[in-house]
A and B are shown apart, each in its own frame.
Chain A
Amino acid sequence: MRVNFKIWRQESHQEEGSFKDYSVDNITSDMSLLEALDYLNETLVLKDEKVVAFDYDCREGICGQCGIFVNGRAHGPHDNTTTCQVHMRSFEDGQTIVLEPWRARAFPIVKDLIVDRSALDRIIQKNGYITVKTGGAGEANSILVAKKDADKAMDAAACIGCGACIATCKNSSASLFTAAKINHLDHLPQGKLETNERVMAMVSQMELENFGSCSFTGACEIECPQSISITEIARMNNLFLKAKLTKE
């Protein structure tokens, strides 16, 4: 099949970017979108042109490294997938595919389709962990965790930090990401002890990083590759309110 890519090209954060059109032949429907981009890049190399920069790592939908706004949707036309799991069979022969980087003030563009998501790392660095000294692996049964709590913790911990929630949110809010990180630890006895400090610190950092507010449009949970529920945000708001009211 033949597709027309319309791709955002930008040398660096400081420089202006613009769309560039590329027609690519010999695309097969079982190629992944990223493989089609690899193929495009090969042709660009042969023509001595600059390749399109895009992020990826595992290409198995589990690492959270890839992320492109494909034809008006974060991670492409399907709900709850990563960009690497989008295949060319999702598009039609001759279709134009628009590729844009995640757009958010907190995600400066590094190059082309690659954005700097280190704001998310800095949120985790603010108490997004437990402060006990771990040492060697402890006896697994010394702290009992109910199955339902372990499941809830896992549901939140599934967040791979891809940034699709922020990309799709009209306010570029990082609420779903931050809530997932807070709740995942709060469901476990080791994490619960420090929930108050954690929720205050992580929410403050989220604000410092210039993310917007949550309007509960629900777009984030539709685009999240891990199907993290928007109720996680409501739970973060609950914990934040409790932390504020019981602050000493």
Chain B
Amino acid sequence: MLINRKYIMAITGLFLCIFLIVHLSANFLLLLPNNLAKEAYNTYSHLLRNNPLISAVSILLYLAIIFHSVMALIITLDNKKAKPQKYFMNYAQQNSSWNSRNMGLLGLMILIFIIVHMANFWAKVKLGYGPELPIDSKGQIDIYSVVVTTLKNPFITLFYTILSIPLAMHLHHGVQSAAKTLGLYHKRYLKYVALIATFYSCVMGLGFGLIPLYIYFFSQG
């Protein structure tokens, strides 16, 4: 059903939005002075890895990403079928925003980012790929050093920073669209949602975009 699919997109999307808040909050630990950041970040990730509730939520998270992506693909293919012939001339920019029309493209960029991001960290820590991970003075995995070493590569930092732009654009339309899909129709509340979406997407874009740059220039593993 057309609307059922959009409910799934909206619910998984909003769940991922909440995850991003948690993720960015944790990333702010990286901005502390080197020694403090190292201890705080390693302890934080150690606690996460050993908490069964977090393990359960992380499965939900993987499922949300998969459902959101697969459903997006199905919806996009069906939408393309619904308009088999494009217009010769179409000034769509006069009636709608670019990001609202290109959510699939923006989403694909974010998916590529997620895959690279997971290869950079998740695969090393969770699956044990790559060289053996360093251990800090408390005997915990020194994720902080892994993060800093990875982001000392200018290409990776640039990739992270640039990809925060499509993320912000996707979130700006996605949050508002999800609210409407789930049936919020009162104009006053939709105005609040628009304000929240703008604030939220800016914070996420700037946060995820600038932290890698900060690490590249100022942090030491």
Contact = CB atoms under 8 A, between A and B. Distances in A.
A203 B5 CA distance: 13
Contact of A72 (B89, B97, B101): B89
B184 interface: yes
A67 B200 CA distance: 40
Interface in B164-188: 173, 176-177, 179-187
B82 A168 contact: no
A79 B89 CA distance: 17
Nearest to A210: B82
Contacts of A105: 81-84
A213 B101 contact: no
Interface in A208-248: 210-219, 222-223, 229-235, 237-242
Interface string A142-162: 000000000000000000000
Nearest to A104: B83
Interface in B144-182: 173, 176-177, 179-182
Nearest to B82: A212
Contact of A234 (B82, B87, B180): B180
Chain B at the A interface: mostly helix, strand, loop or mixed?
A: helix
Given A168-B95, A212-B78, A69 B87 contact: yes
Interface in A189-223: 203-204, 206-207, 210-219, 222-223
Contacts of B182: 237-238, 241
A218 B177 CA distance: 10
A106 interface: yes
A194 B42 CA distance: 58
Contacts of B86: 103
Given A213-B78, A237-B181, A238-B183, A219 B92 contact: yes
B2 A207 contact: yes
Interface residues of B, number: 41
Contacts of B79: 170-173, 212-213, 215
B107 to A, nearest CB: 12
A234 B2 contact: no
B132 to A, nearest CB: 47
B101 A100 contact: no
Contacts of A235: 183, 185
A118 interface: no
A222 B82 CA distance: 21
A170 B187 CA distance: 24
Contacts of A19: 88
A232 B87 CA distance: 26
A34 interface: no
A113 B97 CA distance: 28
24 contacts: A6-B88, A73-B95, A103-B86, A103-B87, A105-B81, A170-B83, A170-B92, A170-B101, A173-B82, A212-B79, A213-B79, A216-B100, A218-B95, A231-B186, A234-B190, A237-B6, A237-B182, A237-B183, A237-B185, A238-B182, A241-B7, A241-B182, A241-B183, A242-B183
Interface of B: 1-3, 5-7, 75, 78-79, 81-92, 94-97, 100-101, 103, 173, 176-177, 179-187, 190
Given A103-B86, A217-B97, 11 more contacts: A73-B94, A98-B88, A168-B95, A171-B79, A172-B79, A211-B2, A211-B82, A213-B75, A231-B187, A239-B183, A240-B3
